[in-house]
Amino acid sequence: MQTRMRPTTSDIAREARVSLATVDRVINERPGVKTETVNKVNAAIKHLGYVRDVSAANLAKKRRYQLVFVLPDDSSEFLTELIRQINAVRLSISSDRTEIRIKKVAANDPHKLVSQLRKIKRQSVDGVAIMARTTPQSRDAIAELRAAGIAVVALVSDQPSSDVDHFVGIDNVAAGKTAGRLMGRFVPSNIEKGKIVVLTNSIQSYDSLNRRHGFDEILREEFPHLNVLPTIEGHGNTERIYRALENTIKNNQDIVGIYSLSSGNRAVTEFIEEAAISKKLTVIVHELTEHSKNGLRDSSIDAVITQHRGQIVRSAIRVLKAKSDKTNFDMDQEQIRVEIVLKENLAN
Amino acid sequence: MQTRMRPTTSDIAREARVSLATVDRVINERPGVKTETVNKVNAAIKHLGYVRDVSAANLAKKRRYQLVFVLPDDSSEFLTELIRQINAVRLSISSDRTEIRIKKVAANDPHKLVSQLRKIKRQSVDGVAIMARTTPQSRDAIAELRAAGIAVVALVSDQPSSDVDHFVGIDNVAAGKTAGRLMGRFVPSNIEKGKIVVLTNSIQSYDSLNRRHGFDEILREEFPHLNVLPTIEGHGNTERIYRALENTIKNNQDIVGIYSLSSGNRAVTEFIEEAAISKKLTVIVHELTEHSKNGLRDSSIDAVITQHRGQIVRSAIRVLKAKSDKTNFDMDQEQIRVEIVLKENLAN
DNA sequence: GGATTCATGAGGTACGTACCTCATAATATC
DNA sequence: GATATTATGAGGTACGTACCTCATGAATCC
């Protein structure tokens, strides 16, 4: 029961009674082959179950995948971790004919983004993963990239899906709904009426909006006794959020929960630990970071909704490669899951 | 800014002022090279950041990874899905010099397992992923495989970790704790005392035991008002479980939750839908299957604790390849997560 | 029916690595 | 100092595929 070798192009040539050159022409869709002959070859390919040896092909082609991650230049915990993951992958697949570069672009300057993307377009890049806010400028620049034959995926932050080849990240409405369900069920059921504080870095972000929509929908439909307050915008300013929280709690007697839509939850955990020890609030935040992990561990946070950064990075790479090769990929595998993390399933 | 090519063995030869043959001898640890020269070459490798092109090397070596999945021959939903995933991967990496076979072995016959493993040992197999109950016989057979230089990982079901190269699956104690936390918080907080029914296919399975331990620990420590009843054993018999549930509910007034430790939850969902509509129970089960998905959708199940089968299969393959090549793998990436699925984050 | 276009074959080189043989230089042995 | 031993170099072939050139036979055109 010797392992049957995989058929090679020579086997096909023999089977189809043509020369290697013709097989090559057919496989690589080069012109100058009669339809009849093409069919003969394809039949042989099918019959023998031939699958092109991609690594040999890439070797022959000197194929190297040039991928670029375009990221905002802030230094949030989320981003730091994302970059850590990119670098981890970079090392582990350096032997995989894949080169990954990271370009940081000023987060709130659409023009910088555009010029960076233009620059990328002029280089021999195969794929770009972009994490950036959607602006008219970014949409145009992305369209240019794609027109130049460069694969583009949106990372985490949702560009309109029609603009990119693929979106790598979670369904934020579903994430919000998940948070809503947890909030509704975690808040003690003996209370008759309660208010939920919602925080975010930027109200403008689509991600935050979608999460909020999902959250509101579930609470409205299934937990109508809980009243969701207007979103407080923090702009990444810890102290500001802290004071806003303080104010809100002071002005509202019946706050029972806090929902933080974006990462950067330092203010929340600090507040919980210092100010609100008297009343037990249910706290749900987004994105697993060192801070939110600690929050889970010391029970100041009840649940974290997150997306696995390693999975995101690897998925983006797989998709970019596939798009660049014009091969299919397994949608199922590339589905980024909305993950729920409690103290108990916090790995490590 | 032309992309710098990756250095090849020739570059190293030049850098180290030795011949290609010597570089080759050093890289492949062939004898007949002075220590001094070895050091020179290694210095050059380090200096140029050379990484062996694995695909070219595999091509030259005609390397093919022969992997075997040894699975129980029952036809549970869990197993069906696992096999589906294996086949999916098999297709997608058929071009990846990797061949995967599946061997089904009678679930409760250690001798059949042993003879199957012995058979595998005699073939040119590089790695084996085993999902089977631990028995003295299986431990010996696994040891034989490993002694023969074959990599072995345990799949889902935990062989003693010292016996295998790696365990691919979730931490079942953590999974049980997670279920416990959810149960504790999902059960309405206005009840003063309640009982939890626990079900499993087989009490003997380590997985079930560990989950139960984790579950009990959390409930004891954090939700002492909830009383966990002795585990009911179903042996995969739907009707039996159904009747056991019926009986238990009849004999206990204050049942507030059901926790099912193993997959195969048909009886549970049927029971919930038919019999227990009057009282609202909190239901938490393991393993995402078509049944449990439907349970989530129609709210007969509140939460599913699961491990992603696709992730498990792919992780097992990566680890087996790495072990077989004696290269390292990223533990972080191979960590299988305890996932919580609610209606809202149920993808699709 | 000679010129032109098209279809195919034959054969080569290259990619980066593995592995082989044979020659020769450097060193150790007695 | 001749001989045995060890270390290294030079050069080749192979893996499966891509891509190139040139030759030649077949079909088409006017």
- 3-state secondary structure at position A293: helix
A272 and A227 co-located in one domain: yes
pLDDT of residue B250: 83
Q: Please name the helix (run of DSSP H) or strand (run of DSSP E) that holds residue A166, with its range, or none.
A: strand A166-168
In a domain, A344, yes or no: no
Comparing A225 with A253, the larger pLDDT belongs to A225
Domain count, chain B: 3
CB contact at 8 A, B169 and B312: yes
Cβ of A28 < 7 Å from strand C? no
Question: Measured between CA atoms, how close is B52 to chain A, in angstroms?
Answer: 6
CA–C1' B28–C18 (A): 9
Which pLDDT band, with edges at 50, 70 and 90, does A4 fall under?
Answer: low
Q: Which of A54, A59, A94 sits opposite B95 (nearest CB)?
A: A54
The owner of tokens 């014009």 is A326
CATH of the domain at A14: 1.10.260.40
Among the residue ranges A3-12, A38-47, A327-336, B12-21, the one predicted with the least confidence is A3-12
Q: Which of A64, A330, A347 sits opposite B337 (nearest CB)?
A: A347
How far from B217 is each of A161, A298, B176, B221, CA to CA, in Å? 45, 18, 9, 6
Mean pLDDT of all residues in A107-132: 92
Question: Measured between CA atoms, how close is A114 to chain B, in angstroms?
Answer: 20
Question: Measured between CA atoms, how close is B47 to chain A, in angstroms?
Answer: 16
In a domain, B277, yes or no: yes
3-class secondary structure per residue, chain B:
CCCCCCCCHHHHHHHHCCCHHHHHHHHCCCCCCCHHHHHHHHHHHHHHCCCCCHHHHHHHHCCCEEEEEEEECCCCHHHHHHHHHHHHHHHHCCCCCEEEEEEEECCCCHHHHHHHHHHHHHCCCCEEEECCCCCHHHHHHHHHHHHCCCEEEEECCCCCCCCCCEEECCCHHHHHHHHHHHHHHHCCCCCCCEEEEEEECCCCCHHHHHHHHHHHHHHHHHCCCEEECCCEECCCCHHHHHHHHHHHHHHCCCEEEEEECCCCCHHHHHHHHHCCCCCCCEEEEECCCHHHHHHHHCCCCCEEEECCHHHHHHHHHHHHHHHHHCCCCCHHHHCCCCEEECCCCCCC
| Strand D contact set, beta carbon < 7 A | A 5, 8-10, 20-21, 24, 27-28, 50, 52-53, 56-57, 59-61; B 17-22, 25, 31-34, 36-37, 56, 59-60, 62
Q: Residue B233 and residue B240: Cα distance in Å, rounded?
A: 9
φ/ψ of residue B203, rounded to 5: -65, -25
Cβ within 8 Å, pair B347-A333:
no
Bridge pairing between strands A339-341 and A303-306 = antiparallel
CB contact at 8 A, A321 and A161: no
Closest by CA to B259, choosing from B235, B238, B281, is B281
Share of chain A above pLDDT 70, in %: 96
> Smallest Cα–C1' distance to nucleotide C11: which residue has it?
A21
Cβ within 8 Å, pair B314-A333:
yes
Nucleotide nearest to A40 in CA–C1' terms: C8
B19 and B45 co-located in one domain: yes
Cβ partners under 8 Å of residue B196, min gap 6: B183, B219, B226, B227, B228, B229, B255, B256, B257, B258, B259
Q: Residue B319 and residue B327: Cα distance in Å, rounded?
A: 9
How many angstroms from the chain centroid is the CA of residue B298?
28
pLDDT of residue B2: 40
Whether A277 shows a pLDDT value over 60: the answer reads: no
For helices A309-325 and A77-92, what crossing angle results, to 10°?
50
Q: Residue B86 and residue B129: Cα distance in Å, rounded?
A: 11
pLDDT of residue B247: 87
Among the residue ranges A42-51, A264-273, B183-192, the one predicted with the least confidence is A264-273
Q: What is the average pLDDT value for chain A, to the nearest integer?
A: 89
Cβ of B9 < 7 Å from strand C? yes
B185 and B297 co-located in one domain: yes
In a domain, B57, yes or no: no
pLDDT of residue A1: 34
pLDDT of residue A106: 92
In a domain, B285, yes or no: yes
In a domain, B128, yes or no: yes
Cβ within 8 Å, pair A188-B186:
no
Q: Please name the helix (run of DSSP H) or strand (run of DSSP E) that holds residue A24, with its range, or none.
A: helix A20-27
pLDDT of residue B5: 76
Question: Measured between CA atoms, how close is A282 to chain B, in angstroms?
Answer: 11
**Owning domain of residue B22:** 9-52
Share of chain A above pLDDT 90, in %: 63
CA–C1' B65–D19 (A): 29
In a domain, B58, yes or no: no
Sign of CA dihedral A175, A176, A177, A178: positive
pLDDT of residue B6: 86
CA–C1' B126–C19 (A): 22
Q: How do the pLDDT tens digits run along chain B, 348 residues long?
A: 345 678 999 999 999 999 999 999 999 999 888 999 999 999 999 999 999 998 899 999 998 899 999 999 988 888 999 999 999 888 776 657 888 999 999 988 889 999 999 999 998 899 999 999 888 888 999 999 999 999 999 998 867 777 899 999 999 999 999 999 999 999 998 888 899 999 998 877 888 999 999 999 999 999 999 999 999 988 877 888 888 888 888 888 889 999 999 877 777 778 877 765 556 889 999 999 988 999 999 898 999 999 999 999 999 999 999 999 888 888 888 999 999 999 999 985
Residues from chain A that touch B344, judged by Cβ atoms under 8 A, are 174, 177-178, 180-181, 214, 218, 338
Closest-CA residue of chain B to A214: B344
A253-266: per-residue pLDDT in tens? 889 999 999 877 77
Closest-CA residue of chain A to B97: A53
CATH of the domain at A181: 3.40.50.2300
Residues from chain A that touch B283, judged by Cβ atoms under 8 A, are none
CB pairs under 8 A between A and B: 130
Mean pLDDT of all residues in A54-75: 91
A152 and A212 co-located in one domain: no
Q: What is the dihedral of CA A143, A147, A152, A154, to 10 degrees?
A: 10
B138 and B179 co-located in one domain: no
Nucleotide nearest to B34 in CA–C1' terms: D7
Reported for B242-247, long-range contacts at CB under 8 A and 24+ positions apart, including other chains, are B242/B267, B242/B270, B242/B271, B244/B199, B245/B197, B245/B199, B245/B271, B245/B275, B246/B271, B246/B275
Cβ partners under 8 Å of residue B261, min gap 6: B176, B198, B199, B200, B201, B207, B208, B211, B212, B231, B286
B113 and B261 co-located in one domain: no
Cβ within 8 Å, pair A53-B340:
no
A146-183: per-residue pLDDT in tens? 999 999 999 988 677 778 999 999 999 999 999 999 99
Cβ within 8 Å, pair B52-A95:
yes
Cβ partners under 8 Å of residue A348, min gap 6: none
Centre a 10 Å sphere on the Cβ of residue B102 and count the other Cβ atoms it contains.
15
Cβ within 8 Å, pair B95-A342:
no
Amino acid at B251: N
B165 and B313 co-located in one domain: yes
Whether A2 shows a pLDDT value over 50: the answer reads: no
Comparing B274 with A207, the larger pLDDT belongs to A207
Q: What is the DSSP letter of A189?
A: T
Q: Residue A207 and residue A191: Cα distance in Å, rounded?
A: 31
In a domain, A162, yes or no: yes
In a domain, B152, yes or no: yes
Degrees, nearest 5: CA angle B283-B287-B289: 95
B300 and B322 co-located in one domain: no
B92 and B25 co-located in one domain: no
Centre a 10 Å sphere on the Cβ of residue B316 and count the other Cβ atoms it contains.
30
The owner of tokens 């798009």 is A323
pLDDT of residue B279: 64
Q: What is the dihedral of CA B252, B254, B258, B259, to 10 degrees?
A: -90
Q: Residue A333 and residue A315: Cα distance in Å, rounded?
A: 8
Sign of CA dihedral A188, A190, A191, A193: positive
A289 and A192 co-located in one domain: yes
Closest by CA to A261, choosing from A204, A312, A220, is A204
B152 and B251 co-located in one domain: no
The owner of tokens 């810890």 is A238
Q: Please name the helix (run of DSSP H) or strand (run of DSSP E) that holds residue A57, with its range, or none.
A: helix A54-61
B134 and B176 co-located in one domain: no
